[in-house]
Amino acid sequence: MRAVVCTDLNEVSVQDIDIPEPRAREVRIRIVAAGLCHTDLSVVRGNFDVPKPVVLGHEGCGYVDKVGPGVWEVAPGDPVVCSIIMPCHACPQCDRGAFSICDQWFEIAFSGIMPDGTTRLRRDDSDINSFFSQSSFAEYAVVPVSAVVKVRQDAPLEKLAGLACGISTGLGAAMVRAPVQPGATVAVLGAGGVGVATMIGARAKKALRVIAIDLVPTKLDHALRTGAATDAIVAGANTVEDVLRLTPGGKGVDIFYDAVGAATTIETGIAATRAGGTIVAIGIMENDLEYTVPLRGLINEKIITGTNGGSIVPRRDIPRFVDLMMAGELPFDAITDRYYDISQVAEAFDDLEQHRMTRGAFRFESSPS
Ligand SMILES: [Zn+2]
Ligand SMILES: [Zn+2]
């Protein structure tokens, strides 16, 4: 099968590798579409360390092709989304229902291996590392069943790839982790796919005002034009003042979502949020970023928190996001606006880096048997 393999820093190519076989409690999926996420790019650029060679991709969706022993949740032919949230159901976090911060997840996601410590991916008798136990920039992916979510038959599958990671992260931030109250004023820093999903989630929760902030004017235009945002601010030296001016009494937003996670973006959020409001870190550009927090902000009861993957419970939230999309209440299907064949991987990463898309995805027209 064809797969996108990252062999070294900034070295990405399409290779012909073996079709993987599912083991116990694993599912093989014929991939229909796989979303392009900044995290894939971060691996290629060396901002996240993952053992190489590795098949990238962690936003896959498609049809179940084969199941390993002990799988009862899905059957061949089922349309599914592969969530990055992959509960082990055996750690203290999973015990308390916090699947998005499963202890095992942090050990596995960037480790190159599946939960059993091995990889399913091979070429010429050499192992290739796995990414998020998924590696869905390939015609087939083998994924632990705990990460596989069945979705309704009538949904347009290629529009759902982002629900594996980026789009669920944004929707979950606004609807699960720090749910918007009706009538609220919120700001979202970053108008890429995750940020726009956050805005769409906030609008669905009846935010009165959704302020989009980005460096790139075309992204802001897109957020306004699609109705995801009500107001837009070009990020710059006066971002905080520009946000405050749009909030009740100039006191700050109720919730500030930081979908970028670069140096100083959380500080901007803290300054632009009212006393008692909430600042939510959604994205992270580099693993070891640090922030300075003004103690006065904490005494004023501001809450600073974050979310991994939108803090969703995949089998509870992904099907309801799809239902809301199909009902026209959550128009995230418009977020993915560029599709590529995996042979265009270099162009796709370049477009992502140069902001030529809101969200992109690889589409697999047909797969060899
Ligand atoms: Zn991602
Ligand atoms: Zn766990």
Give distance in angstroms: CA of 334 to centre of ligand 2. Answer: 33
Arithmetic mean of pLDDT, 208-225: 95
Return d(Cα 245, Cα 2) in angstroms, integer.
52
**Tokens encoding 180:** 């918007």
Arithmetic mean of pLDDT, 273-284: 95
Arithmetic mean of pLDDT, 84-113: 92
Ligand whose nearest atom lies closest to the CA of 147: 2
pLDDT winner (highest mean) among 104-108, 155-159, 282-286, 332-336: 155-159
Q: What is the pLDDT of residues 52-70, one digit of tens each?
A: 999 999 999 999 999 999 9
pLDDT score of 240 more than 50? yes
Give distance in angstroms: CA of 317 to centre of ligand 2. Answer: 18
What are residue 118's phi and psi, to 5 degrees?
A: -125, 180
Among 68-82, 230-244, 353-367, which is the least confidently predicted range?
353-367
Return d(Cα 85, Cα 310) in angstroms, integer.
10
pLDDT confidence band for 297 (50 / 70 / 90): confident
Give distance in angstroms: CA of 212 to centre of ligand 2. Answer: 34
Structural domains of the chain ordered from first start: 2-164+335-363 (3.90.180.10), 176-307 (3.40.50.720)
End-to-end CA distance of the chain: 9
Give distance in angstroms: CA of 352 to centre of ligand 1. Answer: 13
Arithmetic mean of pLDDT, 68-83: 97
Give distance in angstroms: CA of 309 to centre of ligand 1. Answer: 8
CA distances from 203 to 50, 211, 316 (A): 36, 11, 20
Ligand whose nearest atom lies closest to the CA of 259: 1
Q: What is the pLDDT of residues 164-189, one digit of tens each?
A: 999 999 999 999 999 999 999 999 99
Residue 148: predicted pLDDT: 98
Residue 366: predicted pLDDT: 60
Ligand whose nearest atom lies closest to the CA of 58: 1
Give distance in angstroms: CA of 190 to centre of ligand 1. Answer: 15
pLDDT score of 121 more than 90? yes
Give distance in angstroms: CA of 261 to centre of ligand 1. Answer: 14
Return d(Cα 52, Cα 45) in angstroms, integer.
13
Q: What is the pLDDT of residues 127-154, one digit of tens each?
A: 999 999 999 999 999 999 999 999 999 9
Arithmetic mean of pLDDT, 75-90: 96
Give distance in angstroms: CA of 312 to centre of ligand 1. Answer: 14
Residue 367: predicted pLDDT: 47
Q: How high does pLDDT run on average in the chain?
A: 94
Nearest to 211 by CA among 285, 198, 172: 198
* % of the chain beyond a pLDDT of 90: 85
DSSP states along 293-359: --HHHHHTT-EEEE-SGGG--HHHHHHHHHHHHHTTS--GGGTEEEEE-GGGHHHHHHHHHTT--SE
pLDDT confidence band for 369 (50 / 70 / 90): very low
Q: Which residue has the higher pLDDT, 357 or 152?
A: 152
Q: What is the pLDDT of residues 10-41, one digit of tens each?
A: 999 999 999 999 999 999 999 999 999 988 99
Nearest to 281 by CA among 169, 167, 204, 365: 169
DSSP states along 86-134: ---SSSHHHHTT-GGG-HHHHHHTTTSS-TTS--SEEETTEEEB-STTT
